[in-house]
Structure 1
Amino acid sequence: MLAWLWTRLSEGGARVAISGRALGRFPASEVERLLRAQVLIEERKADTWSVCAECDCGLDARPVEQLGDAFRACCPHDQSEDVILLKDDLSRFSVDTDRLVARIAASGDLGGAVTRIADGVWLLGETPSGHAVVLSIDADNLVAPGAVMAIRAAVGPKPIMAIVHDLSAAIAVRLREVGVEPHEIAAVFKAGSDGMDRLVLDPPSSVPRLVMNLSAQSVTLDGRRLDLPTQMFALFRLLIEQSVKRDPVLKKQDIERQTGRPANEIARDLRNALISSGMPEAQAKSLVATVRARGYRLGLAPAEVVIEP
């Protein structure tokens, strides 16, 4: 329900009105819990209804008449167009955005306090793996001038995850270029054993996605071995080893000192080598992520990486 409410806010704005019927898809206990927490706020019941789609009556809305326990939205021109309504259709609820943000953060057991960074952008806290988690009401807010700078000022050198609704491919690429890993809100919420939504960001550490074996000079991602030339393996190893440190960004000057090549050229060659191993181009760009003006970082969380001797 938390993810659903956030989606409604993202699509309809902070003043969106939610009907009782729309809330009927969720358990009554969950709705009541959010009402008590004042995340949901019951407003005055609606006393008008939208006009017919093709109506030329000139009304902005049609009146609602009560008929026993039911209600009728009356069309002044054609009685067959009247709409029979239930009580829940007329119930209206608003959402307290800041309280919803706090509830989302609490559902993920994140460390630290919830902070508003900018208009429509909040810092939710930090995951056990050390990622700062940012929530934005609109993906465009994250790529507005100065947005990433403001987020960096709030979180410091920590790697950043951003949660949004309706993430476009273009914005996802722009965020990864500046070292922010974006997630669709629907993808990071899971139903808990109590039926409540939970924010789940860190994968179980017992199931790593990427395994680097130093003695065998091998790297496996999602169960598939990546066959890389010696120089590409060496750079990939640097990225992997840096990814589990406090600052996961491998700086350009360190790449050039270690490899003797311009950082942008060898990073491009590494991505091409990953593509040659069968990886889609978009995944290769995400895995070897550009951090603008700084360097490159591995596009995985530390909990997803294991380095074996």
Structure 2
Amino acid sequence: MLAWLWTRLSEGGARVSISGRALGRFPASDVERLLRAQVLIEERRADTWSVCAECDCGLDARPIEQLDGAFRVCCPHDPAEDVILQKDDLRRFSVDVDRLVARITASGNLGGAVACIADGVWLLGETPSGHAVVLSFDADNLVAPGAVMTIRAAVGPKPIMAIVHDLSAAIAVRLREVEIEPREIAAVFKPGSDGTERLVLDPPSSVPRLVMTLSAQSVTLDCRRLDLPTQMFALFRLLIEQSVKRDPVLKKQEIETQMGRPANEIARDLRNAIVSSGLSEAQAKSLVATVRARGYRLGLDPGEVVIEP
């Protein structure tokens, strides 16, 4: 329900009105819990309804009438456009954004204080693995001029995860280029043992996404084999080994020293090899992420990677 509420706010704005019928998809106990916590706030019941889509009656809204115990919205021109309402249709709720953010944070057991650090962007705290977590209404907020600088000033040198709704591939690439790992909000909420949803950000170490086997010089990503030539395999190994260090960026100078080729050329060849294995160009750029003016980094969390002998 928390992820659903955040999605509604992202799509409709902080002042969006939510009907009782829309909340009917969730258990009444969950709705009641959020009402008690004042995350949801019940507003005055609706007494008007929108006009028909193609109507030329001149009304701004149609009044809601109660007839014989039923609630009806009548069209003055076409009775076929009359609407029969249920009581829950009349209930209206708003959302206290700050309390919702605090509830999302608590569901993930994040450490540290919650703070609004920019327009539509909150710092939630820190995961057990040491990642700072930010939550944004809109992914565009994170790539606006000065946004990354503001976030960095708030979190310091920690690695960053950003939770957003409706993440495009283009913005995901841009965020990874500035060392921010984006996550879709719908993908990071999981049901807990008590049935309530929880924010789960640290990937389980028992289910690696990428496996590199040194003896066979093979790499698999999400069960897909990546056919990498020897030199590309060597560069990919450097990226993986660097990803677990305090600074996960493999610097251009180090690449050129180790590989004997310009960093941009060999990184381009590595991405081309990844694309030849069946991934898209956007996925290749995300996996071998450019860090502007510094070098390259692996676009995966260290917990998602395993190196085997």
What is the TM-score of this pair, normalised by structure 2? 0.92
List gaps (5 residues or longer) in structure 2: none
* Preserved contact between residue 210 and residue 222 of structure 2 (Cα < 8 Å): yes
Checking the alignment, whether the CA contact within 8 Å between 2:162 and 2:183 is kept in structure 1 is yes
| Partners of 2:170 and 2:215 in 1: CA distance | 39
The alpha-carbon deviation at position 129 of structure 1 amounts to 2.8
User: Where does residue 97 of structure 1 map in the other structure?
Assistant: 97
Q: CA deviation at 1:32?
A: 0.5
Paired residue type of 2:117: I
Task: Tell me: CA distance 1:252–1:65, structure 2 relative to 1, closer, same or farther (3 Å).
Answer: same
Equivalent residues in 2 for 1:125-164 (5 A)? 125-164=125-164
- CA shift, 1:24, in A, is 0.6
State the match for 2:115 in structure 1: 115
For the structure 1 residues 126 and 175, does the alpha-carbon distance in structure 2 shift closer, same or farther, using more than 3 Å as the test?
Answer: same
Aligned match of 2:88:
88
Partner of 2:257: 257
Q: Percentage identity across aligned positions?
A: 89
Letter in 2 for 1:109: N
Match of residue 21 from structure 2: 21
Supply the distance in 2 between the matched residues of 1:224 and 1:164 (Cα, whole angstroms).
Answer: 27
Written as runs of structure 1 = structure 2, the 5 A alignment for 1:216-255 is 216-255=216-255
Q: Which stretch shifts more, 189-198 or 9-18? A: 189-198
Deviates most, 138-147 or 267-276: 267-276
Hey, what's the Cα distance between the residues in 2 that align with 1:115 and 1:308? Answer: 41
Secondary structure of 1:26's match? coil
Contact 2:124/2:133, CA 8 A, preserved across alignment: yes
CA distance in 1 between partners of 2:176 and 2:69 (Å): 54
Answer yes or no: is the 8 Å Cα contact 1:158–1:247 preserved in 2: no
3-state SS of 1:133 partner: strand
- Hey, what does 1:299 align to over in structure 2? 299
Correspondence for 2:211: 211
Whole-Å Cα distance in 2 between the matches of residues 266 and 240 of structure 1? Answer: 16
RMSD: 2.0
Deviation at 1:259, TM superposition (A): 2.5
Partner of 2:272: 272
Aligned length: 309
2:71 aligned counterpart, secondary structure: strand
TM-score relative to the length of structure 1: 0.92
Indicate whether 1:200 and 2:200 are aligned. Answer: yes
8 Å Cα contact 2:63/2:73 also seen in 1: yes
Checking the alignment, whether the CA contact within 8 Å between 1:129 and 1:302 is kept in structure 2 is no
Asked whether the equivalents of residues 205 and 304 of structure 2 are also in contact (C-alpha less than 8 Å), the reply is yes
Of 261-270 and 208-217, more deviation after overlay is shown by 208-217
Please say if 1:3 is aligned against 2:33.
no
Cα offset, 1:103, TM superposition: 1.3
CA distance in 1, matches of 2:122, 2:59: 41
Compare 115-124 and 217-226 and name the one that shifted more. 217-226
Q: Deviations over 1:12-64 (max 9, x none)?
A: 10110001111011100000111111110111111111112222221101111
Paired residue type of 1:135: L
The secondary structure found in structure 1 opposite 2:232 is helix
Query: What is residue 34 of structure 2 aligned with on the other side?
Result: 34
Q: How many Å separate the matches in 1 of 2:92 and 2:104? A: 22
